[in-house]
């Protein structure tokens, strides 16, 4: 598993023109979980830990 941050922090990947945000329809902070086959598994608000946990729980059902 790899984690990439897209943002303004010095260690983040830069999306100066907002291509990633537009492609995913994101306005604010968000988590985009991409499956190994490059399909989107989840898009959740950055602070919405419950959505992420609920999705991960479905993987163990």
Q: What is the pTM of this model?
A: 0.68
Contact of 15 with 8, CB cutoff 8 Å? no
Residue 58, pLDDT > 80, answer: yes
Q: In the prediction, which pLDDT does 61 show?
A: 64
Tell me the Ramachandran region of residue 11: left when phi exceeds 0, alpha when psi lies from -120 to 50, beta otherwise.
alpha
pLDDT digits (tens, 9 = 90+) for 7-49: 777 888 888 888 888 888 888 888 888 888 988 888 888 778 8
Please choose, from the candidates 28, 60, 22, 59, the residue with its C-alpha nearest in 3D space to the C-alpha of residue 42.
Answer: 59
Using the Cα atoms of residue 58, residue 24, residue 5 and residue 48 in order, give the sign of their dihedral.
Answer: negative
Q: In the prediction, which pLDDT does 28 show?
A: 82
Residue showing tokens 């990439």: 4
């Amino acid at each position: 598993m790899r984690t990439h941050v897209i943002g303004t922090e010095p260690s983040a990947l830069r999306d100066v023109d907002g291509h990633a945000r537009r492609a995913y329809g994101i306005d604010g902070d968000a988590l985009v979980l991409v499956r190994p086959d490059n399909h989107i598994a989840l898009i959740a608000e950055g602070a919405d830990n419950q959505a992420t946990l609920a999705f991960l729980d479905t993987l163990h059902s």
